[in-house]
Amino acid sequence: MNENSWNFAEGTRITDELTAIRLLGGGDIYEAYLAFDDITYSGVVAKVIRPRQVESNGAVKGLRREIDALLALNHPVLVRLLRSAPEASRPHLVLEHIEGPRLSSLLRRHGPLQEHQYLPLAIELASVLHFMRYAGFVHLDVKPSNIIMGSPARLIDLSVTRSRELAEALDHTVGTDSYMSPEQCHPPQYGRPGPASDVWGVGATLFHAIEGVAPFKGDHDSSVPTERFPQLEEEAPLFTARVRPDVAAVVQACLSYDPAARPTPEEVAEGLGPALAQLPRGRLSFKVR
């Protein structure tokens, strides 16, 4: 084990009940492992704070914040919490394991989605964001790598999710550069994050799903906000792929600079519903090209 990773090999005990199968990924603070759980007697995801972060009050506080969000939110398009142990020697969450590829992997391997793939996805994302808005939470990191493509799709990773009040009080960058709304890039100078920020994330994700590339890509290493975040100055690009005008209009509206000009999740679903309804019924299921 090094200070940044537990390096759990297959068969290693993460806890008395969890046995590692393989590393799934992670970030600066967490590692996520596919594990076998003796309690549910099934495969699960064990999300564990990295070794060097175990003594960090900020890391444990973030884990507790994620627990609170997962306990408050229960929706078919949202990953479920099975149990948690923030006080353990290896603070962790146990989450359901969802079968299916991440949207980011699908786009990388197969290119842009077809309309019978991205339209159901859009409706499903709108439904979970409508629920989160109703419950008073903001995800703050809607992006292709946080979406598992299944039936339905599932939004995962609530690491930076906050209540609406805490989101609006943010004074630092939260999210992933290419998919963040302007108000997330540099709060509060460019506005205060809120439910409309997640709508921006959906718009950026759908643009990537349709075009095959993210709508904005800046210099992550730049200390100049407008160089790192071109969305602070540039308008969202227009579609080059063939896409229905009504669909394009909804996605472009999600990427409006002004949060008040973006549609609500309910309006996103209502705007895209007719296009989905006009698809041949046999093409509504998810398929890889």
* Mean pLDDT, rounded, of the chain: 94
Structural domains of the chain sorted by starting position, each given as residue range(s) with its CATH number in brackets: 18-96 (3.30.200.20), 103-283 (1.10.510.10)
pLDDT in tens, 10-25: 999 999 999 999 999 9
Helix count (H) and strand count (E) of the chain? 9, 9
- pLDDT at residue 229, as a whole number: 96
Question: Does 284 score more than 70 pLDDT?
Answer: no
Mean of pLDDT values over 246-266: 97
In the chain, % of residues over pLDDT 90: 91
Longest Cα separation, the chain? 55
* Pairing of the two strands 162-163 and 137-138: antiparallel
> How many angstroms separate the CA atoms of 232 and 209, rounded?
22
Burial class (CB in 10 A: 0-12, 13-18, 19+), 135: middle
Question: Does 177 score more than 80 pLDDT?
Answer: yes
Local structure of 160: helix, strand or coil:
coil
**Residue 282 banded pLDDT, cuts 50, 70, 90:** low
Q: Hey, what's the torsion of the CAs at 239, 152, 102, 261, to 10 degrees? A: 40
pLDDT in tens, 144-168: 999 999 889 999 999 999 999 999 9
8 A C-beta contact, residue 100 and residue 148: yes
The pTM assigned to this predicted structure is: 0.92
> How many angstroms separate the CA atoms of 13 and 10, rounded?
9
Task: Give me the amino acid identity at 28.
Answer: D
138 pairs with which residues across the strands? 162
284 or 239, which is more confident: 239
Question: Does 64 score more than 60 pLDDT?
Answer: yes
8 A C-beta contact, residue 158 and residue 139: yes
> How many angstroms separate the CA atoms of 103 and 208, rounded?
10
Distance of CA 253 to the CA centre of its chain: 20
Mean of pLDDT values over 99-117: 96
Cis peptide before 152 (omega within 30 of 0): yes
Question: Does 191 score more than 80 pLDDT?
Answer: yes
Question: Does 2 score more than 80 pLDDT?
Answer: no
